[in-house]
Amino acid sequence: MKDMLKLGLVLACFATAACVGLALVYNATEEIIAQRSQADLEAALKDLFPSADVFSDITGEIASPQNTVSFGSQYAIKQGDALLGTAIRASGPSYGGLITVLVGVGADGRIAGVKILEHQDTPGLGANAASASYFVDKPAKLTFCGQFAGKPVTDPFEPKEDVAAITASTITSRAVASVVKASGTAAAAWMNAQGGVQ
């Protein structure tokens, strides 16, 4: 009994030390992780809208038209005072869980660009949606996300119809197309209300 008590106390001390150590590491790296995440987001926004100089946070102003697609952060993209477009960080269900996409929508009512930020889909299959080296149109070197740029938000966004699907990954293709469609429709409606869609 005495040995069991001693072993229990030793294990409790190790567990406490491990918890304290993890807490210290988390506190030390939390700010760095947040800064890197913000820098990555700003780089992605700048990539979607290269001429923009203002990214105003409008989170909460745009509601998703689909109950399966949730909207996170939202930005009004401007060059000076001119509204260039809107960007929405949106998530929806995919094959491996939620897929999170940054969707840029221009003031002309067309998709400015799409970037997959997070996913858990199968490597070599659904994960190809985020790959810069997987082409849905090899001769044109067009990536899965690249095909959305310039597409009017009024298009149907249906894989195997007006959206080229990823080989053997219809669920992922449909998930991304659904998130892009919902984001595009909602962003265009918001910009129209601001007098921004041409």
Number of domain units in the chain: 2
Same domain for 97 and 172?
yes
**How many residues does this entry show for the chain?**
198
Same domain for 28 and 85?
no
Distant-in-sequence, close-in-space partners of 168: CB < 8 Å, separation ≥ 6: 125
Q: Which of 117, 108, 193, 190 is CA-nearest to residue 153?
A: 108
Contact present, 64 and 70 (Cβ < 8 Å): yes
Same domain for 62 and 11?
no
Same domain for 55 and 44?
no
Same domain for 156 and 99?
yes
CA distance linking residue 144 with residue 132, whole number of Å:
9
Same domain for 123 and 179?
yes
User: For tokens 């409790």, what's the residue?
Assistant: 12
Is 108 domain-assigned?
yes
Same domain for 90 and 23?
no
Whether the full predicted model's pTM is greater than 0.85, yes or no, is: no
pLDDT tens track for 19-30: 777 777 777 777
Is 85 domain-assigned?
yes
Contact present, 104 and 113 (Cβ < 8 Å): yes
Is 198 domain-assigned?
no
Same domain for 14 and 74?
no
pLDDT tens track for 46-75: 999 999 999 999 999 999 999 999 999 999
Q: What residue numbers bound the domain in which 22 lies? A: 1-48
Range with the lowest mean pLDDT among 148-152, 163-167, 182-186? 163-167
